[in-house]
Amino acid sequence: MSPEITGEFTQKFHSLAAELSASDLDRFLHAASLIEVPAGRKLIKARMPVDSIYMILSGSLDIFAENKGGAIKVSEIGPGEWVGEISVLSGDGRASASVSTATDVRLLRLRHQAFEDLIIGEGELPVLVLQHLVLLMSGRLSGLVEMLLKLTRERSVAGRGSETEPAGVGGRDQVAYWPECRLADASASFRGFLHTLPGVENFSATDLEKLYNAVKLTLYPAGHVFTLQGQRGDSIFLVVDGAVSQRIHNPVANTVSETVLNVGEWFALTSLAKGQPEFSTVSAIKPVFVASLTRDEFNRLFDESSAIARFVLYMLVKELARKVQSTLQSILVVYGEES
């Protein structure tokens, strides 16, 4: 990348560039390419495959949530912003929203494969990029949640919806079939269990030991509530043996859905994102072995191990991406009912 583009990127993406070493900045920009798109063009189309992430150097873009009934503008973004990252981080590969050029724009284009290569690489670069994306998507998610609440309130005032008891899914009737927790087995094999988690394959023995020492393994009784939807959490959790119930209240449809989180699944990851509430209520139906990592412990590990920091932050940005997707869909539902 030319010195001029490097300087422009450093100016427009100051918070990220200021954290990168000269070699990491060069490595990051080397993976991207410069493109220019005139005003009035659709850069990304909702529900269509996306193969790149874009970083805006100049100009502005409009973001629309779309369905068959029409489109609603959810935001306008400009220099220093990213777009297209949700498709790769959510694992969907398709766009959650349409993006059009409001003006002539100059963008740095980062192909998904190039992004993945950077994220799984060594050193501080992956951690710093992921940390930047956590802040970016937390802000984006907060804006969408605020927009959804506003639309929902307006619909309620207009008399188009009524507050009733949320409809459940009857998951608790299946308690007899809930996975059993084997206390002795889980406790004795926990160290080895950590080795089996996806994403830790390249951890050094030292990093694995740090993670093992930082988490707290606890046998929780039936009825224990780990998180409450809408409240701020202070830990992330990992199911080691048994299972937990994850219940999500959808304020738009006024329903409650329930899923079962099994061995090896993490939850409450958004407790690590600044200002983000819990998006579900998670509880124990039967006794369950769960490992917990507090936010304070993670912050300590963040400074001690780039491998652990990258591992956890990558899970977090993926979770935030999925929350952005689901919130956009809820906005479309409300918008469709209002139209």
Continuous segment of H or E residues that includes residue 2: none
| Angle of CA points 26, 19, 271, to nearest 5° | 125
Report whether 56 contacts 12 (CB < 8 A): yes
Report whether 281 contacts 224 (CB < 8 A): no
Identical fold for domains 3-119 and 171-338, yes or no, is yes
Q: What's the confidence (pLDDT) of residue 171?
A: 44
Digit-by-digit pLDDT tens for the chain (339 residues) are 788 999 999 999 999 999 999 999 999 999 999 999 999 999 999 888 999 999 999 999 999 988 766 778 888 999 999 999 988 888 877 888 899 999 999 999 999 999 999 988 888 999 999 999 999 889 889 988 888 888 777 766 655 444 444 545 444 445 555 666 665 566 668 888 898 899 898 899 999 999 999 999 999 999 999 999 999 999 999 999 999 999 998 877 778 899 999 999 999 999 999 889 999 999 999 999 999 999 999 999 999 999 999 999 999 999 999 999 888 888 888 776 554
Radius of gyration of the CA atoms of the chain, in A:
22
- Count other C-beta atoms under 10 Å from residue 168's C-beta: 14
Q: Candidates 3.40.50.12780, 3.90.1150.10, 2.60.40.420, 2.60.120.10; correct CATH number of 3-119?
A: 2.60.120.10
| Angle of CA points 86, 256, 294, to nearest 5° | 60
> Do the bridges between strand 70-77 and strand 225-227 make them parallel or antiparallel, or are there none, so unpaired?
unpaired
* SS3 state at 205: helix
**Which residues make Cβ contacts (< 8 Å) with residue 125, sequence separation at least 6?**
20, 24, 27, 28, 118
| C-alpha span between 328 and 316 (Å, rounded) | 18
| Angle of CA points 119, 1, 56, to nearest 5° | 70
Measured CA distances, 69 to 46, 47, 66, 236, 336 (Å): 13, 14, 8, 39, 7
Q: Domain spans of the chain?
A: 3-119, 171-338
Q: Candidates 3.90.79.10, 2.60.120.10, 3.40.1360.10, 3.30.70.20; correct CATH number of 171-338?
A: 2.60.120.10
- Count other C-beta atoms under 10 Å from residue 38's C-beta: 10
Q: What's the confidence (pLDDT) of residue 170?
A: 45
**Which residue from 76, 211, 152, 170 is spatially nearest to 332, judged by alpha carbons?**
152
Amino acid occupying residue 150:
K
Measured CA distances, 339 to 25, 63, 64, 72, 157 (Å): 47, 19, 15, 10, 15
| C-alpha span between 285 and 178 (Å, rounded) | 8
Per-residue pLDDT reduced to its tens digit, 135-147 = 988 988 998 888 8
| C-alpha span between 152 and 166 (Å, rounded) | 15
Measured CA distances, 229 to 42, 238, 263, 323 (Å): 36, 18, 22, 13
Q: What's the confidence (pLDDT) of residue 131?
A: 93
Report whether 48 contacts 95 (CB < 8 A): yes
